[in-house]
């Protein structure tokens, strides 16, 4: 199974210009809102037409601007799970799932729909209408409808964005289970890095219509090679940087110089994830005095906003975010100031020019 995409399309405010390949490993497409993620899926499905380029699925040409080929949606063997599910409100669960199987005999269509209902654990809901279903049930119906046609490529456009946290976690697990037996190509569009990390082996990062990076999930999360890749994978501490000498760099917004390693050259930005800051007991390389400015509390974690200079009483200016468990915060908050904080060079994200 192989999907090749190489397309260009002028959009309002920017130009979508993207080329990538995907196989049976789920490819996650990460990017900020308006970066071109959904438009890329719509072009693959045939809902939108690129200005130029080609789309090839398993050696079958779906679109080729030079050859004048543009197969209609129904001939592309593409399953599409929309963000809002796009269920037909006047159709029952059974009819929604079987809608795309109109070319089959009634017996064969009934067999396939029954199998899809069982796979998605929708037994007992066959005669309900979308308005009578919960958000999670609607999503399972939409996924069943996408898979029942046995597509060669499955396109998932932010399918969990409308769900609460508990249901989202359940549906991620359900999707992982459902796709374990699917042998086609899967593209998963999201701006949620945790969903992408859980579901996808490979990640493509889009920024303003262009591919920033594409590769193995762990490599992109641990060593993002561009500024948009670092931002979209959740790095909250980023500064412009200037190379000094002997592995030293100046982090301009942080107001410090630190050792990044002798092999780090040509660094334009430096970053460190908020959960990678560590408290140090004494002096040493990459140990800096910091003061807490204020905190932000989540149910199970605390974010401490830090300054590298002693802040004025009314100041809210900070240089770093430090995320920690509430237990760790209880241990730390009464320690004498300034705290000594260690920035491990192994944890630094050094982004080249």
pLDDT in tens, 273-294: 999 999 998 889 999 999 999 9
For tokens 């209880």, the residue is 330
In terms of pLDDT, which residue wins out, 342 or 12?
A: 342
Mean pLDDT, the chain, rounded, equals: 92
**pLDDT greater than 80 at residue 32:** yes
Q: For residues 212 and 173, is the Cβ–Cβ distance under 8 A?
A: no
57-66, 181-190, 289-298: least confidently modelled range? 181-190
**C-alpha to C-alpha distance for 178 and 116, rounded to whole angstroms:** 10
Mean pLDDT, residues 175-199 taken together: 88
pLDDT of residue 161: 78
**pLDDT greater than 90 at residue 166:** no
pLDDT of residue 184: 92
**pLDDT greater than 80 at residue 211:** yes
In terms of pLDDT, which residue wins out, 295 or 103?
A: 295
Alpha helix segments (H runs only) across the chain: 37-45, 93-98, 106-119, 135-148, 165-179, 193-199, 217-222, 227-232, 326-332
pLDDT tens by residue, 84-100? 888 999 999 999 999 98
Mean pLDDT, residues 137-165 taken together: 88
Structure tokens at 22: 């995907």
Q: pLDDT over 70 for what percent of the chain?
A: 100
pLDDT of residue 172: 83
pLDDT of residue 289: 96
Is the whole model's pTM more than 0.95, yes or no? no
Mean pLDDT, residues 335-342 taken together: 96
pLDDT of residue 135: 81
Give the per-residue SS3 of 93-117: HHHHHHHHHCCCCHHHHHHHHHHHH
41-45, 182-186, 260-264, 267-271: least confidently modelled range? 260-264
Closest CA to 191 of 26, 30, 42: 30
Mean pLDDT, residues 88-115 taken together: 92
In a 3-state reduction of DSSP, which class is residue 179? helix
List residues bridging with 188 in a β-sheet.
28, 156
pLDDT of residue 181: 78
- Residue 255 has phi, psi (to 5 degrees) of 70, 30
pLDDT of residue 174: 78
**pLDDT greater than 90 at residue 71:** yes
**pLDDT greater than 80 at residue 106:** yes
Q: What is the DSSP string of 118-146?
A: HHTT-TT-TT--GGGS-HHHHHHHHHHHH
Q: Is residue 206 reached through a cis peptide bond, with omega within 30 degrees of 0 on the bond before it? A: no
Q: pLDDT class for 177, splitting at 50, 70, 90?
A: confident
pLDDT of residue 175: 81
How many angstroms separate the first and last alpha carbons of the chain? 36
CA distances from 233 to 2, 36, 190, 224, 228 (A): 26, 17, 11, 8, 8
List CB contacts of 145: < 8 A, sequence separation 6 or more.
79, 87, 96, 97, 99, 100, 116
pLDDT of residue 97: 95
**C-alpha to C-alpha distance for 293 and 116, rounded to whole angstroms:** 54
């Amino acid at each position: 199974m192989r999907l090749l995409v190489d397309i260009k399309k002028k959009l309002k405010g920017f130009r979508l210009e993207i080329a990538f390949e995907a196989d049976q490993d789920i490819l996650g497409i990460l990017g900020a809102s308006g970066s071109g993620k959904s438009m890329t899926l719509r072009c693959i499905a045939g809902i939108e037409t690129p200005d130029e380029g080609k789309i090839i699925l398993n050696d079958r040409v779906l679109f080729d601007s030079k050859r004048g080929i543009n197969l209609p949606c129904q001939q592309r063997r593409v399953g599409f799970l929309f963000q809002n599910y796009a269920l037909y409100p006047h159709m029952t669960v059974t009819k929604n799932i079987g809608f795309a199987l109109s070319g089959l005999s009634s017996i064969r269509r009934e067999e396939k729909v029954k199998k899809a209902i069982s796979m998605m654990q929708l037994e007992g809901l066959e005669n309900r209408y979308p308005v009578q279903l919960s958000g999670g049930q609607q999503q399972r119906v939409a996924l069943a409808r996408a898979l029942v046609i046995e597509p060669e490529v499955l396109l998932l456009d932010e399918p969990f964005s409308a769900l609460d946290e508990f249901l989202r976690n359940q549906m991620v697990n359900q999707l992982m289970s459902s796709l374990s037996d699917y042998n086609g190509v899967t593209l998963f569009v999201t701006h949620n890095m945790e969903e992408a990390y859980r579901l996808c082996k490979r990640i493509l990062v889009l920024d303003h219509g262009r591919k920033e990076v594409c590769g193995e999930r762990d490599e992109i999360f641990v060593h993002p090679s561009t500024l948009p890749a670092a931002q979209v994978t959740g790095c909250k501490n980023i500064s412009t940087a200037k190379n000094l000498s002997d592995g030293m760099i100046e982090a301009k917004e942080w107001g410090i110089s630190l050792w990044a390693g002798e092999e780090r050259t040509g660094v334009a930005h430096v970053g460190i994830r908020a959960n990678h800051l560590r408290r140090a007991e004494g002096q040493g390389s990459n140990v800096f005095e910091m003061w807490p400015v204020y905190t932000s509390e989540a149910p199970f974690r605390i974010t401490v906003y830090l300054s590298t200079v002693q802040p004025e009483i009314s100041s809210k200016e900070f240089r770093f975010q430090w995320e920690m468990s509430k237990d760790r915060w209880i241990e730390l908050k009464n320690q004498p100031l300034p705290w000594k904080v260690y920035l491990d060079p192994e944890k630094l994200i050094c982004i080249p020019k």
